Amino acid sequence: MVRVRLEQGDITGVEIDAIVNAANNSLLGGGGVDGAIHAAGGPRILAACRELRRTTLPDGLPTGQAVATTAGRLPARHVIHVVGPIHDPREDRSDLLCSAYVNALRVADELGASGVAFPAVSAGAYGWPLDDAARLAVTSVLTATTNVRDVRFVLFDTRVHQAFTAALAAAS
């Protein structure tokens, strides 16, 4: 059974086996948590992403999928990059957001990681309504089949933290 904890803060400072990046399909960086991870982790992360693009992912990382790289100089050992879906009120893309969490945990299993920290994937630039993003995140992690024992949601601000607190209470 996975233990889920919530905290408010900056995921780049978290000391854990793997942190998850809310990336985009290009894997070549961006704003938000993606920008913060590349800035704090240094150029080795981008070099590893470029190598993935050159080899196994020439068209980029599909939405809902996950792939790992070095964490560069971050305290975490690995970065697991996922691409959440952009919210679209005309189309239910919830499955892809759940897949991003489940596939991150699958990659963590492949790495032998027992602790994983997640940000609120798709809840920033990708425009997902916060309460729904929190509910999908929490239920995906709680129902996943994984060897990961310790999941930490590291939420950047009070509003996001409150949404995840409510979602976790509703799911437990």
Q: Which residues are catalytic?
A: 34
Choices 21-29, 51-59, 66-74, 89-97; region in contact with ligand AR6 by CB under 6 A? 21-29
142 belongs to the binding site for ligand AR6 (CB under 6 A): no
Instruction: Return the amino acid letter for 9.
Output: G
34 belongs to the binding site for ligand AR6 (CB under 6 A): yes
Q: Of 123, 110, 112, give the one whose Cα is nearest residue 153.
A: 123
Q: Which of 18, 22, 79, 96 binds ligand AR6 (CB under 6 A)?
A: 22
Total residue length of the chain? 172
Nearer to ligand AR6, 10 or 110 (CB): 10
Q: Please, is 1 exposed, middle or buried when counting C-beta atoms within 10 Å of its C-beta (0-12, 13-18, 19+)?
A: exposed
- 104 vs 109: CA distance, rounded Å: 9
30 belongs to the binding site for ligand AR6 (CB under 6 A): yes
Q: Residue 66 corresponds to which tokens in the numbers above?
A: 């996950």
**Residue 69 near residue 19, CB atoms below 8 Å:** no
Q: Residue 143 corresponds to which tokens in the numbers above?
A: 């129902």
- Least separation in angstroms between residue 1's CB and ligand AR6 is 25
Residues 1-20 binding ligand AR6 (CB under 6 A) are: 10-12
Question: Could you tell me the end-to-end alpha-carbon distance of the chain, in angstroms, rounded to an integer?
Answer: 13
Nearer to ligand AR6, 100 or 145 (CB): 100
Q: Which of 119, 134, 135, 163 binds ligand AR6 (CB under 6 A)?
A: 119
- The residues binding ligand AR6 (CB under 6 A) are 10-12, 22-24, 30-34, 36, 84, 119-126, 154, 156-157, 160
